[in-house]
Amino acid sequence: MTDMSKPLRVTTTPIPGFLRIDLTVHGDNRGWFKENWQREKMIALGLPDFGPVQNNISFNDGIGVTRGIHAEPWDKFVSVATGRVFGAWVDLREGPSFGAVYTTEIDPSVAVYVPKGVGNAYQTLEPNTAYTYLVNAHWSPDAQYTFLNLADETAAVPWPIPLKDAVISDKDRAHPRMADVTPFPAEPERGRRVLVTGANGQLGRELMARLPEAGFTAVGVDLPEVDIADAAQMDAWDWSAHDIVVNAAGWTDVDAAQTDEGRRMAWRANAVGPANLARQATRHGLVLVHISSEYVFDGTIDVHTEDESPSPLGVYGQSKAGGDAAIEAVARHYLVRTSWVIGEGKNFARTMTALAERGALPKVVSDQTGRLTFTTDLAAGIIHLLSTGAEYGVYNLSGEGPVVSWSDVAKCIYATRGRDADDVIPVTTEEYHSGQEVIAPRPASSVLDLSKIEGTGFTPADSMERLVAYVRGLTP
Please state the domain extents for the chain: 9-180, 193-472
Check pLDDT > 90 for residue 162. Answer: yes
Provide the pLDDT for residue 240. Answer: 85
Residue 193: CB atoms within 10 A of its CB come to 18
Closest CA to 115 of 93, 131, 100: 93
d(CA 365, CA 408): 9
**Which range, of 26-30, 354-358, 408-412, 454-458, averages the lowest pLDDT?**
26-30
Check pLDDT > 70 for residue 268. Answer: yes
**CA 400 to each of CA 11, 294, 297, 407, 447: distance values in angstroms, whole numbers, following the listed order:** 45, 15, 20, 18, 10
Same fold, 9-180 and 193-472: no
Closest CA to 13 of 92, 130, 100: 100
414 catalytically annotated = no
Provide the pLDDT for residue 186. Answer: 81
Check pLDDT > 90 for residue 436. Answer: no
Tell me if 32 sits within 8 A of 54, measured CB to CB: no
CATH classification number, 193-472, choose in 3.40.50.720, 3.90.870.20, 3.40.640.10, 3.30.420.80: 3.40.50.720
Provide the pLDDT for residue 111. Answer: 97
Check pLDDT > 70 for residue 1. Answer: no
Question: With pLDDT > 70 as the criterion, what percentage of the chain qualifies?
Answer: 99
Q: Which helix (H) or strand (E) holds 451?
A: helix 451-454
Provide the pLDDT for residue 137. Answer: 84
Q: How much is the mean pLDDT over the chain?
A: 95
Beta bridge partners of residue 156, listed in sequence order? none
Q: Which of 261-294 are b and which e, b meaning 16 or more Cβ less than 10 Å from the residue's Cβ?
A: ebbebbbbbbbbbbbbbbbbbeebbbbbbbbbbb
Tell me if 85 sits within 8 A of 123, measured CB to CB: yes
Q: How confident is residue 476, by pLDDT bands cut at 50, 70 and 90?
A: low
Check pLDDT > 90 for residue 190. Answer: no
d(CA 231, CA 277): 9
- Strands (E) in 315-455, as ranges, are 333-338, 341-342, 363-365, 369-370, 373-374, 393-396, 404-405, 425-427
- Mean pLDDT, to the nearest integer, of 299-326? 97
Residue 420: CB atoms within 10 A of its CB come to 12
Of 102, 113, 133, 432, which one is the catalytic site residue? 133
d(CA 383, CA 214): 8
Check pLDDT > 70 for residue 308. Answer: yes
- Mean pLDDT, to the nearest integer, of 435-448? 92
- Strands (E) in 190-286, as ranges, are 193-197, 217-221, 244-247
Angle at 294 between CA 288 and CA 300, to 5 degrees: 145
304 catalytically annotated = no
Check pLDDT > 80 for residue 257. Answer: yes
Closest CA to 387 of 456, 451, 323, 454: 456
Task: List phi, psi (to 5°) of 106.
Answer: -120, 120
Tell me if 245 sits within 8 A of 289, measured CB to CB: yes
d(CA 232, CA 355): 45
> 9-180 architecture in CATH?
Sandwich (2.60)
Amino acid at 256: A
Provide the pLDDT for residue 6. Answer: 87
Of 70, 284, 392, 433, which one is the catalytic site residue? 70
